[in-house]
Amino acid sequence: MVLRKLTGVFSIALVIGAASFAVAGVPDLFATTATTAAPVGVTPVLYNLPNGLGSTFALARTTSGVQDATITMIVSDGVAPVVNFSANDMWLEKEIVASTGNFIACTGGTTADVNTNASGVTTWAAPLRAGGWSTSKTIVVINGAALTSNTGLVLRHNSADINGDGNANLSDIPLFATDFSAGSNAFRSDLQFDGFVNLSDIPRLASGVGAVCP
């Protein structure tokens, strides 16, 4: 009888302990979900500039053309939506994998568009203030911690700021010239993202020169 009572108390304690992990108004990294508008199996590329005059997410590209890559996130505390959660506390980062680029975000340059609404929803649709390039996944971060509901979003990045110093300037041109003269498909310089580094990339490089983080 004593053993049964102790077992019952222990079980109740476990239930209470598990319930305590859900804190009202505090985003739960597993219960919060983020997705892109791109179909499964499609890998869009977003063109960014440090001054925020790159592409909107709706105008991301694949080698087949334009592909909407808008990110939608539903923030939950594990029980209910988290309402009016600050956009400044939700941002994007590059997955850290060797040899997958030098993506860099300007201060506040990858935060969500708006605070969460009454359903806990926010988006990334406006252009980012960022430079460099990335062929790894895009990580969604809340309060400094990455979501655990997924392993990252399939979204890559490139920029006229090819060297990823936060400034698209003359120092980026030799890198582009090297890739262009080699007739390569180097991702970092395929700014139009059609699968080749060619004349179609030059207008983006030229118009991007001068873009710098605010």
147 lies in some domain: yes
Rounded to the nearest 10°, the torsion over CA 109, 113, 116, 117 is 170
Which range marks the domain in which residue 141 is found? 23-208
Cβ-count burial of 130 within 10 angstroms (0-12 exposed, 13-18 middle, 19+ buried)? Answer: buried
Measured from the Cβ of residue 209, the count of other Cβ atoms closer than 10 Å reads 16
- First and final CA of the chain: distance in angstroms? 70
129 lies in some domain: yes
* pLDDT score of 178: 96
Convert the pLDDT of each residue in 34-54 to its tens digit: 999 999 999 999 999 999 999
27: nearest Cα among 165, 192, 141: 141
**Number of structural domains, the chain?**
1
Could you give the CA distance from residue 191 to residue 195 in angstroms, rounded to a whole number? 10
Convert the pLDDT of each residue in 149-184 to its tens digit: 999 999 999 999 999 999 999 999 999 999 999 888
137, 51 contact by CB (below 8 A): no
The pTM assigned to this predicted structure is 0.89
114: nearest Cα among 70, 153, 84, 77: 84
**pLDDT over 70 at 105, yes or no:** yes
170 lies in some domain: yes
142: nearest Cα among 22, 12, 32: 32
**pLDDT over 90 at 92, yes or no:** yes
16 lies in some domain: no
54 lies in some domain: yes
